[in-house]
Chains A and B, each alone.
Chain A
Amino acid sequence: MWDYTDKVLDLFYNPKNQGAIDDPNEAGVAVVFGEVGSIACGDALRLHLKINIEQDTILDSRFQTFGCTSAIASSSALTEMIKGLTLDQALNLSNKDIAEYLGGLPEAKMHCSVMGQEALEAAIYKYRGIEIEHHDEDEGALVCTCFGISDNKIRRVIIENDLSTAEQVTNYIKAGGGCGSCLANIEDIIAAVQAETATTSARVAAELERANQPLTTIQKINLIQQVLTEEVRPVLMADGGDVELYDLEGDIVKVVLKGACGSCSSSTATLKVAIEARLQERVLPSLTVQAV
């Protein structure tokens, strides 16, 4: 039997916010839902949002879930967590936040929290009119044919959750959990990601070491380019977006957001979280990022 926390069991036995949301047809209020999963996968979530259009906030949230104990509990937890948030704040929620809210999930059940995060993203993208039909899966080569998972999605979950084994990847997004024939490929992807991260860190460290003094503008630009290319763009591209360095004025990094990122109103969040924080950590703490 799985070792579920009391919080998981409580939300399973007494789920909050189950059901759909009827569209009240009120001015200034939108109702939308996002779906992930299917009967074939063994779990599926339809997440409903009621949105205050002017304030860009979530007024109400409900769920319909086909799945196990932790799938139902994760869905219910998510609806509790996002009420009152702005859509940008909601997009910043990660599967880890959901798992933490539940006091942890068994490792083999982490994919339930990923499903919640994906449904939320799907709902918000749908509301914002961003095409996500083809994001993830259809870009990049299919690695896990049993569950239809591409190398982009696998790279993303490895980078975001700092995963180091194929078993962890299976626990998070199911890849490799069917016939198991792609487990060796997943291990190769992990090794590649680790090698890239190590190379980037080493190069950045070496550059900083060599400088050992305030970075010149050229050095800054080189370092920023490296981090963008090796660590930021793969993540954005997995979501159908992209970024390009436009200019550098002092410590102000000017970038152009492309693809889905360009039209996505959560791009502020992308800028701050995905790009600025990463550049501050990797290059210089005083950097700020602006979109042009």
Chain B
Amino acid sequence: MTVIYLDNNATTKVDSAVLEAMLPYLTEYYGNPSSMHSFGGQVGKAVKQAREHVAALLGAEESEIVFNSCGTEGNNTAIRAALAAQPDRRHIITTQVEHPAILNVCKQLEKQGYTVTYLSVNRQGQLDLMELEAAITGNTALVSTMYANNETGVIFPIEQIGAIAKEYGAAFHVDAVQVAGKLNLNMKTSTIDLLTISGHKLHAPKGIGVLYVRRGFRFRPLLLGGHQERGRRAGTENVPGMIAMGKAAEIANFELKYMQRETRLRDRLERGLLAAISDCEVNGHLTERLPNTSNIGFKYIEGEAILLLLNQYGICASSGSACTSGSLEPSHVLRAMGLPYTTLHGSIRFSLSRYTTDAEVDRVLEVMPGIVKRLREISPFNNDQAEWLQDRETATVGAKA
């Protein structure tokens, strides 16, 4: 069965040109770029070129690019570095809808005596900058927010947030894992000090990431060891990964101008589903959103069951339902938005890529109404029995906790 892959916010297919570029560095050119001999030296040159491509994608300088292993490492490093830079400041501001690689670090820091403000979002998943302004003080070491949300695609007003952070002398870190290759980035004109991106979200393989560190930012590394990455990330370079990341960045930079294509497909998918299926709605702001992401809540049914039925047709998507996470609680992002439970548990995220085709969108539009109908026939929460859930349906997690 052919796979229809609409889960690109989870991970992406490695571009064949990326694979081709990296393979020689797994076979022929295995030298260590730090070596003195020319066999290693030629590898060092290729890494430099890869770094240039990544810098170009971010609108940054080559010296501001630090390769690492993944987005999680980037986020951990950025937070620790920012706190080490201003050790007297003991306050962090982030949001309720961050990735666990931010939230769990913050939770631990709270135990170590830091105060953390988690900014709330509204029903459309957007921040209120007044809340940020009310929370920030001269004691704030770091403001860390995502550029766009992985589950809903909702984009935050990064430069406005950065301006407020700068006013108070706080470092500004942005988790741009979902954004690199989807939106234009230009660090030269930005207020961002630290920016996390990850290779496998833009058609490079897993195991390679990048942390952008603004030149002049007082940086302290997470890993101590050799002098690799100008002493900012010790450990022998993942050369094949770096070459792959460089190639992926080069292609992504070129492909940026075709993003409307993804938007068009996404909108066609979304409108088609909303038109064909009753009792469903888009989660997240409709326009302040990544071009490739659509999160839809299908009421009265549960997300994991939808995913398994989609799986029968080879269609890959994901859900914010409790049953898919293994945590028993539905998505913290959708809960923070205050969505009703029936929408939370029946939420499905479709995330497209440049490989998505019209035929694939057609196939989803063809099978999805039948899947929803079938599960609603099984569900006790049908329209005629809606009184059972009246008071429960609108309860948000805040009320439950």
Closest B-chain residue to A177, C-beta based? B328
Q: Is the CB of A13 within 8 A of B312?
A: yes
| SS of A interface (majority) | mixed
Mark out the residues of chain B between 260 and 312 whose CB falls within 8 Å of any chain A CB in the assembled complex: 300-305, 308-309, 312
User: For residue B312, which residues in chain A have a CB less than 8 angstroms away from its CB?
Assistant: 13
Which has the most chain B C-beta neighbours within 10 Å: A42, A71, A146?
A42
Selected from B302, B380, B393, the residue in CB contact (under 8 A) with A42 is B302
In the bound complex, CA of A45 to CA of B400 (Å): 20
Closest to A18 in B: B378
Residues of chain B lying within 8 A (CB to CB) of residue A64: 378-380
Roughly how many angstroms separate A149 CA and B378 CA in the complex, as a whole number? 27
Nearest Cβ distance between residue B78 and chain A, in whole angstroms? 26
Residue in B301, B322, B328, B389 whose Cβ sees the most chain A Cβ within 10 Å: B328
Chain B residues lying within 8 Å of A66, measured Cβ to Cβ, are 300-302, 345, 378-381
Minimum C-beta distance from B330 to chain A (A): 7
Instruction: Report the separation of the CA atoms of residues A65 and B381 in the bound assembly, to the nearest whole angstrom.
Output: 8
Let me know if B392 and A40 touch, CB within 8 A. yes
The 8 Å CB contact of B328, one of A2, A12, A15, A174, is A174
Q: Given that A13-B312, A68-B302 are contacting pairs, would A42 and B345 also be in contact in the complex, using a CB cutoff of 8 Å?
A: yes
Q: A69, B305: Cβ atoms under 8 Å? A: yes
A15-B378, A67-B323, A68-B323 known; A43+B400 contact, CB < 8 A = no
Interface size class of A (residues with CB under 8 A): 35 or more
Report Cα–Cα, A18/B392, bound state, in Å. Answer: 24
| Closest residue of A by beta carbon distance from B382 | A64
Contacts of A140 in B (CB 8 A): none
Q: CB distance A42 to B322 under 8 Å?
A: yes
- Cross-chain contact A35 with B330 (CB below 8 angstroms): no
Within 8 A of B (CB), among A132-191: 145-147, 170, 174, 177-179
Q: Cβ of A147: which chain B residues have Cβ within 8 Å of it?
A: 328
Residues of A within 8 A of B389 (CB): 38-39
Do the beta carbons of A35 and B304 come within 8 Å of each other? no
B281 CB, min distance to chain A CBs, angstroms: 15
Q: Does any Cβ of B come within 8 Å of A46's Cβ?
A: yes
Beta-carbon nearest neighbor of B322 in chain A: A42
In the complex the two chains form, what is the Cα distance from A72 to B392 in whole Å?
21
Interface CB pairs A-B, < 8 A, 26: A12-B308, A15-B378, A38-B389, A38-B392, A39-B392, A40-B341, A40-B395, A42-B302, A42-B330, A63-B378, A64-B380, A65-B378, A66-B300, A66-B301, A66-B345, A66-B380, A67-B305, A68-B303, A68-B323, A69-B323, A71-B302, A71-B323, A72-B305, A145-B401, A177-B327, A177-B329
| A residues apposed to B, CB below 8 Å | 2, 9, 12-13, 15, 18-19, 35, 38-40, 42-46, 63-69, 71-72, 108-109, 145-147, 170, 174, 177-179
B residues with a Cβ closer than 8 A to A are 300-305, 308-309, 312, 321-324, 326-330, 341-342, 345, 377-381, 388-389, 392-393, 395, 400-401
